Amino acid sequence: MPPEPPDGAFEPYKPRSPEFRAAMEALRGLRQDLINDAFAYRPLSRAGAGNRLSRRLSGRPREYALWAPHILIAAGGLLAMLIASDDDFRGSAVNLVLGLLALAPVLLTMVRPVGAFWLSMVATPVAAALGAEWDSEWPWLPGSFLSHLLVLTIVAIRTRPRTAAWMWVLTGVYGVAAETGFFRGGHYFGSNTMELLFLSALSLLGVTIWHIRSDARQEVTAQQSVTAHERSRRTLLEERTTIARELHDVVAHHMSVVAIQAEAAPYRVENPPPELEKAFRTIRENAVAALTELRRVLGVVRAEDYEAPDAPQPTLADLEGLLANVREAGLTVDRVVTGAVRELPQGVELSAYRIVQEALSNTLRHAPGAAARVEVAYVLGGLGLRVVNGPAPRAALLKPSPGAGHGITGMRERVSMLDGEMTAVPTDEGGYEVTVFLPVAATPEGDA
């Protein structure tokens, strides 16, 4: 056995029991919820503009609807005041005081919610002392009963479930103390504590369920925002990957041409100097090395199910075939070409084709049966595109089928890659318009 501590020595520390820790934690919660900053100023904000009532109204009634919470609280307080002061056997002065004692806590919930609870707890015995001679209800007079019930409900809505639980417990403690005769003064009255506790329990239970659903809704909304952000980033990366795969053939073609020309150039000149042969040999080696690295990069960005296209990448020369396929799908589309048609860089031609293709696909998804118009303008310094469609006819057999929202993102990525400009906005007629300008550097005459 361990030796006993000498006289005067401190005993070793004994850990607190779970019950003691739970009690201390409960008291700490009581202090945080109902004592610390009990009369802090917390004004009730107006209702949101997106609530159901304001959405159904317009003009001045809609402005009034934003103050609906304040109006309802004031109406409840006035009702409690009317009940508290409606007694012909009491004097008018007593009725006025009882009415104000019922009204004040309810109105205070709009600016100092926790303080309103304490004011109601103080006003209840004061009202009982003034009106007990004429009333048979104890310890809550009819006006105080409704006033305290409203205060409990409003404060619970404006705070949190733990605060509501503490208010309910303190209300029960006061009711039990009043029933035992501590405040009763020896008179016999019918007790209404159980009625108040029962009704307030139902009210606070409903408020707690509302809090839980509101918190869950906020968490779901926050998660949806995060998911939408991640989906947007993933969509952006997928579109960039798609563009990189499509441009691979264009870049590879140019690098192959450079390698072939560098290899054939020395044979097109009689007795080329060794320095020239070495320079062309270096150009070819660099072009072949660039092609090798390009294939490695494509292997990194290529999806597992990606298959290399069998045909060359499309250009604006293939636009008529695209329009024919779209017409077969039920879309009435016209094409207008302005300016001097000329050959553009393959990257620009490919991006322009894909932009028109995606814009028409969006029209088929969102406005089936509508009429569309494709305008291609060869202007000085670049290429202009405009794809506009009208609204879907009401008698259309097919319904709109919104996609994943990747179309606009992909078009913007292509335009941004080429340092172009793009706008995509609804039209006044109910359709949609996509306008794009792709800059193209002017090619001096005589250049190959």
Residue pLDDT, tens place only, 279-333: 888 887 887 787 777 776 666 665 555 555 555 678 888 898 889 888 887 788 9
φ, ψ for residue 409, nearest 5 deg: -60, -45
333, two tokens: 């589309």
Q: In this predicted structure, what is the pLDDT of residue 298?
A: 64
C-alpha neighbours within 13 Å on the C-beta side of residue 293: 7
Distance between CA atoms of residues 315 and 349, nearest Å: 5
Residue pLDDT, tens place only, 19-72: 677 777 777 877 888 888 888 899 998 876 556 666 666 667 777 778 889 999
Distance between CA atoms of residues 400 and 432, nearest Å: 14
Range ranked top by mean pLDDT from 83-87, 155-159, 255-259, 297-301? 155-159
Higher pLDDT, 30 or 101: 101
Query: DSSP assignment, residue 335?
Result: E
Distance between CA atoms of residues 349 and 341, nearest Å: 12
- pLDDT band of 257, cuts 50, 70, 90: confident
Higher pLDDT, 158 or 21: 158
Q: Strand, helix or coil at 385?
A: strand
Q: Which residue has the tokens 């879309």?
A: 331
Residue pLDDT, tens place only, 401-435: 444 445 788 888 888 888 899 999 999 888 899 99
Distance between CA atoms of residues 432 and 408, nearest Å: 12
Residue type, 359: A
The string of DSSP codes covering 203-246 is HHHHHHHHHHHHHHHHHHHHHHHHHHHHHHHHHHHHHHHHHHHH
pTM: 0.56
Residue pLDDT, tens place only, 358-382: 898 888 888 887 889 999 999 988 9
What is the average pLDDT across 88-95?
80
